[in-house]
Amino acid sequence: MSDRPEMFEAVDEVWMDGEFVDFEDANVHLLTHALHYGTGVFEGVRCYETEEGPAIFRWEEHLDRFYNSAEVYDIEIPFEKQELTEATEELIRREGFESCYIRPIAFYGYGPLGLNPGKSPVQVGLAVWPWGAYLGEEALEDGVDVAVSSWRKYASSQIPTNAKTTGTYVNSVLASLEAKENGYTEAIVLNKEGNVAEGPGENIFLVRDGEIYTTGLAESILDGITRRTAIELAEERGYTVHDDATISRGELYTADELFFTGTAAEVTPIRSVDDNEIGTGTKGPVTDELQTAFFDLVESGEREEWFRYVYSND
């Protein structure tokens, strides 16, 4: 339909509460609890076109995080993991996608309003759609210009940072809006101590003197699945990786290289921060090596333990 966002033009169905539903009929009630209070959890997962056909990358880790996020908010997902896995694979097959983005979501639905979800039912949905490079195809090669946001990342003593919660992404929305309004592609968010946390939807890596640093879980970050992948790929190639680092704002400006990782962003170079050129202002050699390794991996599907092949898991 003409009023659909372009990214959803090819989508025919979604899965809601155990049933496949026409895209146009995928609705929730105005008084849905999560719509008012942000009481939902979600995941972002990619299915890649590999040599063995469409394959979901690190699905089990994403699914584990999805259920763990729900547990934090006492959201009891009324489906077993295997049921969601089968529904996801069937949805991809029905849509005929060779590659796509996958969005599982669980939330408190229509019930009595008030801060306590009370007797609000838990609703669960799955959607898939084609989605290219999150920060733009050219960003993968040329890098992105970013700015340190005036908005700080919330601390785990305020809201759990290990849960991927719908409501808390307002923090990311504010940082992203601010960056774009000021002419930057993306933001970097500091934590309450003033040290680097992450991007609005990405983890961040710093390269200095041939060693790799990424902010630790205690720095108010999400434990990213692509972050884990980048760490493993780097260590396999002989790099020293400091995966529990504290990175100051000033260290960003003097880094040899910086890059983002994330399911949506994949591995994206950062070429400047607050108008300060990083390194040579182009994709650095370490970033290039890890980015190449990442895309070689997801396009080949060579590590079977990291993939679910959509047409061969029955």
Catalytic residues: 164
Pairing state of beta strands 100-108 and 122-129?
Answer: antiparallel
d(CA 218, CA 215): 8
CB-count burial class (<10 Å; 0-12, 13-18, 19+) for 39: buried
Q: What 3-state class would DSSP assign to 140?
A: helix
C-alpha 273 chain-centroid distance: 21
Residue labelled with tokens 């029905």? 94
Sign of CA pseudo-dihedral 229, 234, 238, 241 = negative
Cα within 13 Å of Cα(38), Cβ side: 10
Q: How is residue 154 annotated by DSSP?
A: P
d(CA 2, CA 47): 26
Alpha helix segments (H runs only) across 121-201? 137-142, 170-181
